[in-house]
């Protein structure tokens, strides 16, 4: 009989408790997101009262406020949220599959691939609009495919994959710099967006296709949630537990790549968001779960808060990508120091 130890039900109780805790954390993060979003809607060149913003959102036409909210602030909040969410999930997925905090698409050159393709399309080919976004997406996917191809020679190796990615990242960064320097008569402000990332100039019409891509890829990643968990156990157990390793790894990686490259096409690279979100999510959750949605929300928070800081904290306005980059660099150093301590 099952009652012989008094220990039965312990697994279910434990996992239910942890699930509840995960949900509480999620609710808390959502709370902070709401505050950040409301702040970014109210504040700007002009400060509007919550009532005014609410009336505008409900469709009332108010001179000045209507334009500021619908054309500038709301798209900024929504695109910023989607971008952070998408980078967060993409980074987290990479880190979980490859079991390494450094293995994030921004460290491994996938965002650079998208950026380089976009810069090339705009400045060398003179293109603009949707085709640029499409080329950015293609650039990201191409880099991912090249990295996968190289790292799958002989036996698949995570370290080989990360190092290949870092190499490609450095190379592409040089390409981006080269193109921008060579075509410096072009609008530098626009070009800088592809270097660091910015929410300036995003519009409501950017949302529908972008939102669709983010939702679709997130759904695929969530459907592979259990495989993502098992892939964290090493190279051997996933095989003997019956996971289709190659297939699920490919689905997960390409979904993350499309998220990442697609977002880069809209906002630019927003450096370090992908890399920080997954790691932070793991630190906060401490359950060994995948924390996909948590990482997404943390990404969204990072972007909105950095945007607020970039807009209002200094006398000059900085694009959000500069702020996330400034936060990301010391974060990376601390992480590396921590890793060294663990290994040493």
Partner 1 sequence: MEKGFTSLDHELKAEHLKAGYDKTVIIEDMSLVIPDHKITVIIGSNGCGKSTLLKTFARLIPPMGGKVLLDGKEYAAMPSRKLAQIIGLLPQSPLVPEGIKVSDLIARGRYPYQEVFRGMTKEDYAAVDEAMDMMGVAEFADRNVDELSGGQRQRVWIAMALAQETDILFLDEPTTYLDITYQVEILDLLTDLNRKKKTTIVMVLHDINLSARYADYLFALRKGKLAAQGTPDEIVCRELIQDVFRLDSYVTRDPVSDSPFIVPMGKYHSGVRGKKNASRGIP
Give every CB contact of residue 45 below 8 A, 6+ residues apart in sequence.
68
Which residue, 19, 42, 265, 240, is CA-closest to 135?
Answer: 265
CB of 95 to partner 1, least distance (A): 10
- Least distance CB 263 / partner 1 (angstroms): 26
> Binding of partner 1 at residue 91 (CB under 8 A)?
no
Cα separations in angstroms, 157 against 131, 152, 240: 35, 7, 18
Is 12 one of the binding residues for partner 1 (CB under 8 A)? yes
The reply to whether 154 sits near partner 1 by the rule CB under 8 A is: yes
183 makes contact with partner 1 (CB under 8 A): no
* Residue 44 touches partner 1, criterion: CB under 8 A: no
338 forms part of the interface with partner 1 (CB under 8 A): no
Report d(CA 265, CA 86) in Å as an integer: 12
Choices 52-60, 77-85, 108-116, 242-250 (CB under 8 A): range interacting with partner 1: 242-250
Distance CA(20)–CA(8), nearest Å, equals 20
* Residue closest to 228 by CA, chosen among 94, 101, 106: 94
Between the two ends of the chain, the Cα-to-Cα distance in Å is 49
Separation of alpha carbons 60 and 35, rounded Å: 23
Of 53 and 285, the one with the shorter C-beta distance to partner 1 is 285
User: Residue 242, exposed/middle/buried by CB under 10 A (0-12, 13-18, 19+)?
Assistant: exposed
Binding mask 93-132 for partner 1 (x = CB under 8 A): ------x---------------------------------
Residue 211 interacts with partner 1 (CB under 8 A): yes or no: no
Among 149, 204, 239, 313, binds partner 1 (CB under 8 A): 239
Distance CA 38, CA 50 (A): 8
Query: Which stretches of the chain bind partner 1, using CB under 8 A?
Result: 1-2, 5, 7-12, 14-15, 17-18, 99, 154-155, 223, 226, 229-230, 232-234, 236-237, 239-244, 282, 285-289
């Amino acid at each position: 009989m099952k009652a012989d130890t008094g220990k039965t039900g312990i697994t279910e109780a434990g996992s239910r408790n942890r699930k509840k805790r995960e949900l509480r954390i999620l609710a808390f993060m959502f709370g902070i997101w709401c505050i950040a979003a409301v702040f970014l809607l109210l504040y700007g060149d002009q400060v509007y009262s919550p009532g005014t913003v609410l009336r505008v959102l409900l469709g009332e036409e108010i001179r000045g406020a209507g334009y500021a909210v619908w054309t500038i602030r709301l798209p900024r909040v929504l695109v910023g949220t989607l971008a952070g969410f998408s980078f967060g999930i993409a980074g987290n997925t990479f880190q979980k599959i490859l079991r390494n905090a450094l293995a994030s698409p921004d460290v491994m050159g996938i965002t650079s691939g998208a950026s380089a393709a976009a810069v090339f399309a705009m400045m060398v080919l003179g293109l603009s609009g949707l085709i640029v976004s499409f080329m950015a997406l293609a650039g990201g996917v191409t880099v991912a495919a090249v990295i996968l191809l190289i790292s799958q020679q002989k036996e698949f190796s995570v370290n080989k994959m990360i190092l290949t990615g870092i190499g490609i990242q450095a190379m592409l960064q040089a390409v981006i710099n080269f193109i921008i320097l060579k075509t410096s008569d072009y609008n530098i402000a626009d070009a800088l967006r592809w270097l660091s990332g910015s929410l300036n100039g995003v519009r409501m019409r950017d949302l529908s296709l972008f939102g669709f891509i983010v939702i679709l890829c997130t759904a695929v990643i969530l459907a592979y949630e259990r495989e993502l968990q098992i892939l964290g156990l090493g190279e051997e157990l996933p095989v003997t537990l019956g996971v289709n390793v190659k297939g699920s790894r490919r689905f997960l990686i390409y979904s993350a790549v499309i998220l990442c490259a697609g977002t880069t096409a809209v906002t630019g690279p927003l450096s370090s968001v992908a890399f920080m979100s997954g790691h932070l999510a793991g630190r906060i959750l401490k359950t060994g779960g995948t924390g996909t949605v948590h990482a997404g929300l943390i990404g969204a928070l990072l972007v909105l808060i950095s945007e607020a800081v970039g807009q209002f904290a200094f006398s000059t306005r900085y694009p959000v990508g500069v702020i996330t980059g400034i936060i990301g660099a010391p974060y990376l150093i601390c992480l590396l120091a921590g890793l060294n301590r663990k290994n040493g």
